Amino acid sequence: MGRRRGTMSEGFKNELAKELGFYDTVQKQGWGGIRSKDAGNMVKRAVEMAEQRMAEENRNRH
């Protein structure tokens, strides 16, 4: 089974890793070095940001 291409840009992932406090691990060990919990928190934060952006767009339409 082949790897799926990621949907988050590398820059966005780096930004989230910095915000969540594990960017140093990414720099030293790559993305494979982060904990599952950190990856989950990263996805959770990305979803929160997307929801906030959608809510703002909906407010601006009305």
8 Å CB contact between 34 and 25: yes
Question: In whole angstroms, what separates CA 15 from the centre of its chain?
Answer: 8
Q: Which residue has the tokens 């919990």?
A: 37
How large is the average pLDDT for residues 38-57? 95
Residue 50 confidence (pLDDT) above 70? yes
Place of tokens 């703002």: 56
- Is residue 7 pLDDT above 90, yes or no? no
What is the pLDDT, as a whole number, of residue 3? 60
Q: Enter the tokens of residue 2.
A: 């082949």
The DSSP call for residue 5 is P
Average pLDDT of the chain, as a whole number: 91
Query: What is the pTM for the complete model shown?
Result: 0.79
